[in-house]
Chain A
Amino acid sequence: MSKDQVRVVVTGLGATTPLGGDVASTWSALLAGRSGVRTITEDWADSVPVKFAAFAAVDPTEVLPRPEARRLDRAEQLALVAAREAWADAGIEKVDAERLGVVVGSGIGGITTILAAYDTFKEKGWQRLSPFTVPMLMPNGPAGWIGIEVGARAGVHATVSACATGAESIGYAIEMIRSGRADVVVAGGTEAAIHPLNIGSFAAMRAMSTRNDDPQGASRPWDRNRDGFVLGEGAGIVVLESEEHARARGAKVYAVAAGVGYSADAHHIAQPEPTGAGVMLAMRRALANSGLTGQDIKHVNAHATSTPAGDVVETVAIKEVIGGHPLVTGTKSMTGHLLGGAGGIESVFTVLALHERIAPGTINVDDLDDGIEVDLVLGTPRKLPDGQIAAINNSFGFGGHDVAVAFTSL
């Protein structure tokens, strides 16, 4: 790590996921190997070929006051719930508003608002549209609301890179602090896209699992019989802070947000590049940006979506850049794929793995696919070594986005 670079630390965590309505319940369910996937009981299930999804375990409208919830898209609701938890967890009592930022994105934005508003428009006319329709559908809405909530004036940003969004947001936040623009940044990703149009559209790409007879076994990264991802919803948020700012207020510190690596495949709009070159470049850059070597990395939270195309090549890239030694886990086997929220919750998991020295397992791998030469954590969690260790969270997105965020233990 270069000596003149500002160190960025993680001082707050927040999440609302298919496994739980907060970080503690999500993390314990994850370590217990529980699946957050359930059968779709809504009547529209008949219209789509996929009959299951990973719904948020706690409906945000049950947590938020009704007047507040009605002016928020569900992606905004989930983001606010997670951001409030992270902010309270960080316990920041005083911060210069002009040194406080927000970077929170979503892959799709307020898609359910758009669709419902268009129905209202067609049936009842423009006068019946909620005056909050635009702030509900805009993909920077979650960032905007969180910025108002915490009073962030250093800048409020929303990165958009499909399923890499949450990780890219956290990378952007690290850079915001390092470049001197902010002392504290609330960062992460959110998504609420469980709607028949989205399921139909992903199914039209043949990207989703159709294991309708076994929903909880459907998300099975690296298993030979994996047949696609499982759509999930939720949000994961971290509070990042310059080490100096955190130390000055005596903050509890979970881990160091050591650096980020970005790259792009420049190959295909939706399919991963088959040699893993882009993924390798992102991880190499994350190591370089963090001043780490492959030997330092003891754990990887892999992108591992359970699609036939991407899972194995990611492990090939990990082996090439980092080595065969890190404990590699695929938490989407339990949470499903939160799209823009994925990099947020998986960064929370990566930070907790370092903090508690435990790598969560990967469920549903009954028959390991060929060509995997890294140490996968299958089934139950495994202990991470003592001492100074590091971990990487990988997130990739349609559009060819590759992001690797590196964290180190204290």
Chain B
Amino acid sequence: MAMTEQEILAGIGKIINEITGIPAAEVTPEKNFVDDLDIDSLSMVEIAVAAQDEFGVEIPDDQLKHLKTVKDVINFIQG
């Protein structure tokens, strides 16, 4: 069964909180990883690997660099 956007957002919020310490509530769809959340490229790799475990969707490196916002990741996971 496909996950809802809310469920994916909650999962991403949990992952980002675990890796960066940013409160999950601050992780909202419009946020840009670099400009708004101050997440560096090494942490993005960690987040992508954790997302793979959480959602079972692999995010290849050439795709990862195009995922600028939380909404981009949600869309990618929803396919």
Contact = CB atoms under 8 A, between A and B. Distances in A.
Interface of A: 65-68, 70-71, 127-128, 130-132
Nearest to A67: B21
Interface stretch (B1-9, B24-32, B42-50, B70-78): B42-50
A66 B19 CA distance: 8
A141 B19 CA distance: 19
Contacts, number: 19
A127 B49 contact: yes
B40 to A, nearest CB: 9
A168 B7 CA distance: 54
A128 B21 contact: no
B45 A67 contact: no
A159 to B, nearest CB: 27
Contacts of A128: 49
A128 B21 CA distance: 21
Contacts of B43: 131
Q: Top 6 nearest A-B pairs by Cβ distance?
A: A67-B21, A131-B42, A131-B45, A67-B20, A65-B21, A131-B46
A68 B21 CA distance: 8
Contacts of A131: 42-43, 45-46
Contacts of B45: 131
Given A131-B42, A132-B42, A67 B18 contact: yes
A130 to B, nearest CB: 7
A71 B20 CA distance: 10
B55 to A, nearest CB: 16
Contacts of A65: 21
Contacts of B21: 65-68
B67 to A, nearest CB: 16
Contacts of B49: 127-128
Nearest to A68: B21
A67 B42 contact: no
Nearest to B46: A131
Given A70-B19, A127-B49, 17 more contacts: A65-B21, A66-B18, A66-B21, A67-B18, A67-B19, A67-B20, A67-B21, A68-B21, A71-B42, A128-B49, A130-B46, A131-B42, A131-B43, A131-B45, A131-B46, A132-B42, A132-B46
A128 B42 CA distance: 13
A135 to B, nearest CB: 8
10 contacts: A65-B21, A66-B21, A67-B18, A68-B21, A71-B42, A127-B49, A128-B49, A130-B46, A131-B45, A132-B46
Contacts of B46: 130-132
A68 B45 CA distance: 16
A66 B14 CA distance: 13
A130 B18 CA distance: 14
Interface in B41-61: 42-43, 45-46, 49
A128 B45 CA distance: 10
Contacts of B19: 67, 70
B1 to A, nearest CB: 27
A125 to B, nearest CB: 11
Nearest to B17: A67
A68 B43 CA distance: 11
Contacts of B42: 71, 131-132
B32 to A, nearest CB: 19
Contacts of A70: 19
